[in-house]
Amino acid sequence: MLKIGITGGIATGKSTIAHKLRALGYVVLDADQASHDLTAPGGQALPEIERQFGLDMVDEQHGLNRSKLGTLVFNDQTKLAQLNQIMHPLINQILTKQLSALAQSGQQLVFVEIPLLFETDNLIKMDQVLMVTVENKQTQLKRLLKRSHLSKKEAEQRIIAQMPLEIKEARSDYVLINDNDEHVNEQLNQILMQIRHSLA
């Protein structure tokens, strides 16, 4: 089974590409969905997050207070590393189980959306990597501001806290530039042709 990781930077449009792939009938697993499940009310990661970061990190619905924890960890690299040490092994367990089931069912190709694929040293080994990026950094900033309740300074801090896009691009097999919708489908179709060729 060919496993292709989808990655990129914050607000570069990874989920948009994943959605397009699902609409085309491809199987796409999602590390962020696994993360949300782990931090939903009763989630497996919550007790350790409470222990390390405080009881106020859980909201009134007994799920993760994402905004409070986000503000804390994105301003402190040590705390971000602490959170990653809690979350990544659990996310990897979920994805490994899903991948194993797909392999046993005879699936030939699966995409896995992993935003921090390179930052986590690709603990789940991908065969190839599809990087979703932007050429215009202002596009990234505008998208992040539009979808979040962050100030411009907070949004810029979150972008800066991540591995530079250029480093991720250099380590990827396929690079899709997602500045505007006009050329995205064409690029994606070309990449899919290359992937299908590698399966033949």
HEC profile of 97-137 = HHHHHHHHCCCCEEEEECCCCCCCCCCCCCCEEEEEECCCH
φ, ψ of residue 29 to 5 degrees: the values are -90, 160
Would you say the pTM of this structure is higher than 0.85? yes
In angstroms and rounded to an integer, the radius of gyration of the C-alpha atoms of the chain is 17
Counting Cβ atoms within 10 Å, is residue 93 exposed (0-12), middle (13-18) or buried (19+)?
Answer: middle
Report the pLDDT value the prediction gives residue 55, as an integer from 0 to 100: 92
Domain of residue 105, residue span = 2-199
Terminal-residue alpha carbon distance, the chain: 12
pLDDT of the chain along its 200 residues, tens only?
999 999 999 999 999 999 999 999 999 999 999 999 999 999 999 999 999 999 999 998 889 999 899 889 988 889 999 999 999 999 999 999 999 999 999 999 999 999 999 988 656 789 999 999 999 989 999 999 999 888 999 899 889 888 999 999 999 999 999 998 789 999 999 999 999 998 87
Rounded-to-integer distance, Cα 172 and Cα 7, Å: 9
Identify the H or E element spanning 175.
Answer: strand 174-177
Pairing type for strands 28-30 and 174-177 reads unpaired
pLDDT at 181: 78
CATH number at residue 109: 3.40.50.300
Residue 123 pLDDT: 61
* pLDDT on residue 198: 86
Give the per-residue pLDDT at 26.
98
pLDDT at 20: 96
For residues 98 and 103, what is the distance between their CA atoms, to the nearest angstrom? 9
* Domains of the chain: total: 1
Instruction: Identify the H or E element spanning 169.
Output: helix 165-170
